[in-house]
C-alpha cells in the first residue's frame, strides 16, 4: 500500500477545513477526492460541468454547478466510480459503480452520468442523497498501488468519541474472499451525521443514511448488488452496547503488546454469507479518543481514527483538529 494525499492550490487534502455549507461542502469534498484520485493514477472516462458533457477529460470543475459529474477509472483500467452533485440541490450526491466492462461514453448527458457498457454492471450506490454539510476537517488519501483503495473522511472538529460523525466515502478492496469472488470490493458512502456510526454502517441497507454496497455471490443465480453489512462479533446478549460485543467495543487494550488499542479488520458480508476482509477499515476495540487521533502501529502515525471506532491507514502526517 502506498497512500498519497495531494496538496495543490493551497487546498490541502490533509487538514482541509470545511466551513459547512449546503452550497459548498459537497463540492469541496468531491473536488478534493477527485484531485487525490487523479494524482494516484485514476483516469477520467467522462465528465460534465452541468452544461457540457466531455469524454476523456475533466470538465467537472469544482462541482459547484448543479448536475456536475465525473466518472473515473482505476489505474488498472477495470473498475469505474462516478460522482454527481444534485439535480436541484448542491448538497445531493449520486454515486455509481461499474465493476467490469467499462463505460458506454455515448450514453449520458450534461446532466446525467454515462451508463455501463453492460447494463447489469450499471450499479447505483445511492441516488440524489442529501449530504450532511457539517463543518469539520476533511482527510482524503488514495493508494497508488493495486488494488487502489481510497477514502475521504470528515467529521466535526474536536469531535469527541463517536458523537456526530459525518460524511465518508471509502473504496475498500477486500482480502480473504471466496475463491470464486470476482469483485472483492465494497464501497461505503455515508452521508449524514450520527453518534451511532457502527450501528448505521453495520445495518447497511436497512439504515436510512448509511450505505455499504457491493456485489454478493457475483456470477451465481443468487448474485445481487446491494447493501453489505459489517460483521460484528457478539459475546453477550445484554442490551448494554459496551458489553455486547468483542468487536467492536469490547477489547480496548492490547495487553499482550502493551498497546493502548486492539484493532481487527472489518469483515464484510450479508445475510447469506461473508464477502471478505477489509483493507481500509478496522474496528478499534472500544469507542474512545477524538476524530483525527493517530496511532503508530507499524510506522509513525500509520493509522487514523474516525467515527470513534474505525481505524484507517494513514500517511504519517500530523492532523489538525
| Smallest separation, CB 246 to other proteins (Å) | 4
Using the rule CB under 8 A, is 279 a contact of other proteins?
A: no
Using the rule CB under 8 A, is 298 a contact of other proteins?
A: no
- Euclidean distance between CA atoms 247 and 251, whole angstroms: 7
Q: How many residues bind other proteins (CB under 8 A)?
A: 50
Q: What is the DSSP string of 90-102?
A: TTEEEEEEE-SS-
- Euclidean distance between CA atoms 185 and 172, whole angstroms: 6
* Interface with other proteins (CB under 8 A), residue from 274, 297, 315, 321: 274
The secondary structure of residue 114, as a DSSP letter, is P
* Interface with other proteins (CB under 8 A), residue from 4, 231, 297, 315: 231
* Interface with other proteins (CB under 8 A), residue from 157, 161, 269, 321: 269
Rg of the chain, C-alpha, whole Å:
19
Nearer to other proteins, 219 or 316 (CB): 219
What would the x/- binding string for other proteins be over residues 156 to 185, using CB under 8 A?
----------------------xxx-----
C-alpha cell at 201: 454502517
Max distance between CA atoms of the chain, in angstroms, equals 59
What would the x/- binding string for other proteins be over residues 238 to 267, using CB under 8 A?
--x-xxxxxx--xxxxxxxxx---x-x--x
Nearest to 133 by CA among 95, 88, 91: 91
- Euclidean distance between CA atoms 278 and 270, whole angstroms: 14
- Euclidean distance between CA atoms 198 and 218, whole angstroms: 26
Q: Which residues bind other proteins (CB under 8 A)?
A: 178-180, 198-199, 202-204, 206, 217, 219-222, 229-237, 240, 242-247, 250-258, 262, 264, 267, 269-274, 285-286
Amino acid at each position: 500500500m502506498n497512500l498519497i494525499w495531494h496538496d495543490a492550490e493551497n487546498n490541502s487534502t490533509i487538514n482541509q477545513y470545511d466551513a459547512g455549507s449546503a452550497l459548498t461542502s459537497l463540492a469541496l469534498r468531491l473536488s478534493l477526492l477527485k484531485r487525490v484520485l487523479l494524482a494516484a493514477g485514476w483516469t477520467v472516462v467522462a465528465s460534465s460541468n452541468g452544461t457540457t458533457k466531455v469524454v476523456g477529460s475533466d470538465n467537472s470543475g469544482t462541482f459547484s454547478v448543479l448536475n456536475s459529474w465525473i466518472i473515473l477509472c482505476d489505474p488498472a483500467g477495470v473498475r469505474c466510480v462516478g460522482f454527481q452533485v444534485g439535480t436541484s440541490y448542491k448538497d445531493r450526491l449520486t454515486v455509481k459503480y461499474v465493476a467490469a466492462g467499462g463505460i458506454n461514453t455515448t450514453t449520458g448527458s450534461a446532466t446525467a452520468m454515462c451508463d455501463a457498457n453492460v447494463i447489469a454492471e450499471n450499479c447505483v450506490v445511492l441516488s440524489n442523497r442529501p449530504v450532511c454539510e457539517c463543518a469539520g476537517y476533511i482527510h482524503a488519501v488514495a493508494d497508488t498501488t493495486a488494488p487502489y483503495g481510497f477514502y475521504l473522511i470528515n467529521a466535526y472538529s474536536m469531535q469527541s468519541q463517536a458523537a456526530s460523525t459525518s460524511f465518508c466515502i471509502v473504496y475498500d478492496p477486500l482480502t480473504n474472499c471466496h475463491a470464486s469472488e470476482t469483485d472483492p470490493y465494497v464501497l461505503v458512502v455515508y452521508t449524514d451525521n450520527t453518534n451511532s456510526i457502527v450501528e448505521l454502517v453495520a445495518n447497511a441497507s436497512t439504515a436510512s443514511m448509511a450505505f455499504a454496497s457491493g456485489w454478493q455471490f457475483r456470477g451465481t443465480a443468487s448474485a445481487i448488488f446491494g447493501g453489505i453489512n459489517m460483521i460484528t462479533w457478539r459475546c453477550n446478549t445484554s442490551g448494554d452496547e459496551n458489553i455486547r460485543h468483542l468487536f467492536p467495543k469490547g477489547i480496548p487494550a492490547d495487553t499482550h503488546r502493551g498497546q493502548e488499542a486492539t484493532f481487527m479488520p472489518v469483515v464484510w458480508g450479508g445475510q447469506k454469507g461473508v464477502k471478505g476482509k477489509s483493507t481500509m477499515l478496522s474496528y478499534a476495540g472500544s469507542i474512545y479518543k477524538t476524530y483525527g487521533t493517530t496511532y503508530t502501529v507499524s510506522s509513525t502515525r500509520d493509522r487514523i481514527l474516525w467515527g470513534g471506532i474505525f481505524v484507517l491507514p494513514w500517511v504519517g502526517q500530523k492532523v489538525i483538529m
